[in-house]
Amino acid sequence: MPAAMTALVAAAIDVGTDVAEAFDAHDAGGGGLPQLHAPDFAPQLFWLAVTFVLLYWIMSKIALPRIGEVIEERKDRIQRDLAAAERLKAETEKALASYEKALSDARANASTIARQTRESLNAEVEKDRKAVEDQLARKLADAEAAIDATKTKALASVKDIAGDAVVSIVGTLSNVNATKDEIARALAASGADK
Amino acid sequence: MAEAADVAGHAESHGPMAQFEIKRLVPLELFGYDISFTNSSLFMVLALVLISTFLILAMSRRALVPGRLQSIAESVYEFVAGIVRENLGKEGMRYFPWVFTIFIFILTLNMLGMIPGSFTVTSHIIVTFALAAMVWITVTLIGFARHGLGYLKLFVPEGVPFWLMPLIVPIELVSYLIRPVSLSVRLFANMMAGHTMLKVFASFAVSLPFVAKAFPVLFTAAFTGLEFLVAFLQAFIFTVLTCIYLNDAVHMHH
Amino acid sequence: MDPQAAKFIGAGLACFALIGAGIGIGNIFGNYLSGALRNPSAAPGQFTNLLIGFALAEATGLFGLLIALIILFG
């Protein structure tokens, strides 16, 4: 671009000088706006071209790339820092989530273990109780059986004793020697042994 | 030699226009062309040196956290980059150095002109016209380089009924051709009018009697503030319009 | 008529161009303000357009002022 601009400015100076000559021919000096004083055009155009091209070169080659670099670098840095912060935040959140999960797992575990312990204890107690109860029930049944047997035996003896008693009573009272068989028949007939 | 006498004749006058006179400090000649080092050249070179040293010195540390100078340089950069991005989009950044040079050069010349007793380079039509012509020619070349003859469609706006074309096309053509004129005259007339006005009011301060001097002085002070605004605004406008014209050439839509 | 007087009158007439510039600039800023008060959030985005409009309107007036200056000093 600078080369093109230089050519351009050279052409412009040419035109400017032509115009200047035209003005000179027309306006024989004296008064007039300084801006329209044509002989001054050429030096202004020349120095404008020189300074502008030089300034453009310095700006585009030295000054602006530096500023742009610094700004770009800062933008990158901020972007990077932001990204890092974002990543750290995500990691923290993940850690927090895993911690909470571990906590709730532990809690669930604890309650499961407690329940299991309770259940197993309960079962054991139940078993023991059942065993004891069974034993007791068996003993009770044995005892009841023994009692029944004794009762039956006693009742049977009662009949004998009653018969003997009746024979002796009858013999004593009425001098009748009733036999044991007769007494038993009489008792049976009266339904007393019921 | 006749010119030297002419210049001397100019220098004697102290009208409001005297401040715009070109004074040859070092007469030079190259291939028959007059390339004398004038007061105008002095301020152009001064602007060049000031801009370059400022931008290079400010960025010498290349700090990630900018200091005062560096943040000024960076905000100027970002300001112009913002104009370019807004008007041309991301791809327009390849023209950024050119646009930046135009902006910073005109801004510095305008601001240097605000120093009392200095010379305002941009108050000369030939300088602003050369800048505007450079913009116009560059934009036109870019337009033709990118779109070939299709660039001529710029003069045929879409959605205009065909029977209006004989009216619209010449208007578009003229408004395109007049661009360098309006671009240069806007900057030149603003700078010249402002400085002339300041000088006229300042001369009232000399010619009015005692207490009445206060009014032109106060007005001049206030108007100087406005002129600083104008100096910035005209550099900004020149840059924005350059970007808008570039956008026409690059993207081809209004 | 004295040619000098005609020159001054002409310069004064050329300055009438500034009337239009004044109206134009007033219009631009007035409309910008009324728009900005209706929708303040959209205002900063139009600031560049405001300045462009201002510069375009002002330049038109300055063309007239320029003619006046050329008549006076040219």
A162 inside domain: yes
Looking at per-residue pLDDT, the higher value among C59 and A102 belongs to A102
How many other C-beta atoms are found inside a 10 Å radius of the C-beta of residue A135?
10
Nearest to C59 among B185, B196, B244 (CB): B185
Whether residue A143 is contained in a domain is answered as no
Locate the domains of chain B by residue range. Answer: 2-251
In chain C, the number of structural domains is 1
**What 3-state DSSP class applies to A28?**
coil
Render pLDDT for B59-73 as a digit per residue (tens, 0 to 9): 777 777 777 888 888
Give the residue from chain B lying closest to A40, CA to CA.
Answer: B22
Q: Name the residue range of residue C43's domain.
A: 3-73
* pLDDT < 70 stretches in chain A: 1-31, 191-194
pLDDT score at B15: 73
pLDDT given for residue A25 in this prediction: 43
Q: What is the pLDDT of residues B82-137, one digit of tens each?
A: 888 888 888 888 888 999 999 999 999 999 988 888 888 888 889 999 999 999 99
CATH number of residue C39's parent domain: 1.20.20.10
- CA C63 centroid distance within chain: 9
Structure tokens at B182: 């309006």
CA distance A38 to B211: 42
ipTM of the complex model:
0.84
- Tell me the residue range of the domain where A183 lies: 150-190
Cα separation, A170 vs B69, in Å, equals 152
The whole-angstrom separation of Cα B59 and Cα B76 is 12
Residue B41, SS3?
helix
A92: in domain: no
Instruction: State yes or no: pLDDT of B4 exceeds 60.
Output: no
Closest Cα in chain B to C62: B189
Count of domains forming chain A: 1
> Is residue A73, in this structure, part of any structural domain at all?
no
Which residues of chain C have a CB within 8 Å of the CB of A33? 69-70, 73-74
B49 in reach of chain A (CB within 8 A):
no
What pLDDT does residue B157 have?
76
